[in-house]
C-alpha cells in the first residue's frame, strides 16, 4: 500500500491563496486506508476550508485515484463543478494527484505527502518494507529487505553502527542485518550471507519506469 499523510492545513491554504472555488478529490484505496483521502477526511477538510472562507463545490472519492480511466469516469460526474472551480485539491498519493492533474485544465494541488510503500501492521500503523528497487533480494535475506530496512541499503551485511540490535540512524529501528542473520539462522540458511553481493545495477531502475503488458500477453512467468 502507498502510505500518505495530509499536508499541514496552512500549506494547503497557501496553494489556494488565489482560488475561491474548490473541488476536492480523494482515493478509495490506499489514502482511505491511511485516513488521508477517504470520504470522512474529505468531509472534515471541506468544513475546514469553508471556515477559511473557501467554497467547496464538490468532492469525489474515485475508487482508485491512480487509475486513469476510473478517474476520468468519476471526474465526468462532477464536470460542471470542475468547469466552475478555480482549483482541485487531491488527497491521494502523488500518483493519484497526477492522474487527476493530467485530465483537467485547472491547477491540481496535492493535499497529501506521499510517504512510502508500506505494510499495514494494524489499523492506523504502517511501516516501510519495500522501496521498489526493481531487483528483489528477499530470496537471499530471509524475507527481510535490506534495501529498505537498512538505512544505508547495504547488501553485504551490517555496518558497525548497530547498538543492542538497533540502528544508529534511528534507535527505534532494528538493525535489518541482525534481523536477517537471526532469520537465516532459523531457516538454516546463514550460508547465504557468505557470498559477496555485487553492487546494484542502477541503470536498470532509472526512473521514470514504465511497464507495458499489452503486447506480451500478461505479466506471469513464461
Q: Which of residues 182-221 bind other proteins (CB under 8 A)?
A: 190, 193-194, 196-200, 202
List 39, 77, 157, 216, residue binding other proteins (CB under 8 A): 157
Q: Which three cell numbers stand for residue 199?
A: 553492487
Least separation in angstroms between CB 148 and other proteins: 13
DSSP string, 125-172: EEEEEE---SS--GGGTTT--HHHHSTT--SSS--S--BTTB-SS-TT
Q: Is 160 in the site for other proteins (CB under 8 A)?
A: yes
Q: Which three cell numbers stand for residue 211?
A: 511497464
List 43, 44, 47, 159, residue binding other proteins (CB under 8 A): 159
Which residue number, 103 or 153, has a Cβ lying nearer to other proteins?
153
Residues in a beta bridge with 174: 166
**CB-based contacts of 100, cutoff 8 Å, min separation 6:** 25, 65, 71, 75, 88, 90, 92, 108
Which residue number, 46 or 200, has a Cβ lying nearer to other proteins?
200
Q: Is 178 in the site for other proteins (CB under 8 A)?
A: yes
Which residue number, 13 or 193, has a Cβ lying nearer to other proteins?
193
Angle at 128 between CA 15 and CA 160, to 5 degrees: 120
d(CA 96, CA 90): 8
Which residue number, 130 or 155, has a Cβ lying nearer to other proteins?
155
Q: Which of residues 125-154 bind other proteins (CB under 8 A)?
A: 151-154
Which residue number, 93 or 180, has a Cβ lying nearer to other proteins?
180
Q: Are strands 112-122 and 2-6 parallel, antiparallel or unpaired?
A: antiparallel
List 140, 168, 183, 189, residue binding other proteins (CB under 8 A): 168
Q: How many residues bind other proteins (CB under 8 A)?
A: 29
Q: Are strands 125-130 and 112-122 parallel, antiparallel or unpaired?
A: antiparallel
Summarize as ranges the residues that interact with other proteins (CB under 8 A).
151-165, 168-169, 177-178, 181, 190, 193-194, 196-200, 202
Amino acid at each position: 500500500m502507498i502510505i500518505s499523510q495530509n499536508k499541514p492545513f496552512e500549506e494547503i491554504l497557501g496553494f489556494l491563496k488565489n482560488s475561491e472555488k474548490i473541488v476536492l478529490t480523494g482515493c478509495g484505496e490506499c489514502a482511505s486506508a491511511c485516513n488521508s483521502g477517504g470520504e470522512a477526511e474529505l468531509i472534515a477538510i471541506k468544513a475546514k476550508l469553508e471556515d477559511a472562507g473557501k467554497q467547496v463545490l464538490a468532492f469525489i472519492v474515485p475508487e482508485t485515484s491512480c487509475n486513469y480511466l476510473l478517474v476520468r469516469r468519476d471526474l465526468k460526474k462532477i464536470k460542471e463543478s470542475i468547469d466552475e472551480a478555480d482549483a482541485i485539491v487531491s488527497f491521494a498519493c502523488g500518483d493519484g494527484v497526477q492522474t487527476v492533474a493530467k485530465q483537467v485544465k485547472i491547477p491540481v494541488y496535492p493535499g497529501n505527502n506521499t510517504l512510502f510503500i508500506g505494510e499495514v501492521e494494524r489499523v492506523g500503523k504502517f511501516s516501510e518494507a519495500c522501496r521498489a528497487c526493481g531487483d528483489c533480494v528477499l530470496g537471499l535475506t530471509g524475507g527481510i529487505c535490506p534495501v529498505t530496512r537498512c538505512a544505508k541499503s547495504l547488501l553485504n551485511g551490517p555496518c558497525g553502527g548497530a547498538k543492542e540490535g538497533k540502528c544508529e540512524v534511528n534507535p527505534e529501528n532494528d538493525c535489518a542485518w541482525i534481523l536477517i542473520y537471526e532469520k537465516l539462522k532459523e531457516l538454516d540458511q546463514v550460508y547465504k550471507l557468505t557470498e559477496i553481493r555485487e553492487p546494484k545495477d542502477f541503470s536498470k531502475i532509472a526512473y521514470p519506469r514504465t511497464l507495458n503488458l499489452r503486447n506480451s500477453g500478461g505479466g506471469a512467468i513464461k
